[in-house]
Structure 1
Amino acid sequence: MEIDHRAIGVVYHPKREKYGNYVPTIMSERYDAFMFFDTTQALHPLHLPTGNEMPETYPFGV
C-alpha cells in the first residue's frame, strides 16, 4: 500500500508543506524497520569538555 511519507531532510516551508515535502512511499520497500514513539522526552545537552576549543571529534570522542 502506498502512502504519503514526509521526506527526510526537507526544509519546512508552510506554503509548500502539503505539496513538496511528502513522497509516495511503500514503507516495507523503503525501510528495513519503522518505529513509532507515542511518547518521548526532551534530551539534555552533553557537557562540553573543558578548554577553550571544542575537540574535532566532538561529540564522538567524548
Structure 2
Amino acid sequence: MENKLYKSSLDKKICGVCGGFAEFFGIDATLIRLLVVLFTLAGGSGVLFYIVAALIMPDEPNYY
C-alpha cells in the first residue's frame, strides 16, 4: 500500500500537521511537535513551516 502524507484527523492539536507527519514517518507525534517548537524558537521557521503545511497538506480521507 502506498503511504501518503495527510493531516491527521485523530492525532491533532491545531490542524493535524504534526500528527500527519508522525503517522507518515511512523514515529511519535510529540517528537515532531518538539521539533516544530525548537525551530520556532531558533528563528521562527517552525511557524512558517506549520502554516504552509497546514494550507498545502490534504485532510485525511474518511473510509467509513
Which range, TM-score by smaller chain? Answer: under 0.3
When the two structures are superposed, what TM-score results if normalisation uses the length of structure 1?
0.24
Structure (1 or 2) with the larger CA radius of gyration: 1
The structure whose residues are more often strand, as a share, is 1
Which protein has greater RCO, CA pairs closer than 8 Å, 6+ apart?
Answer: 2
When the two structures are superposed, what TM-score results if normalisation uses the length of structure 2?
0.24
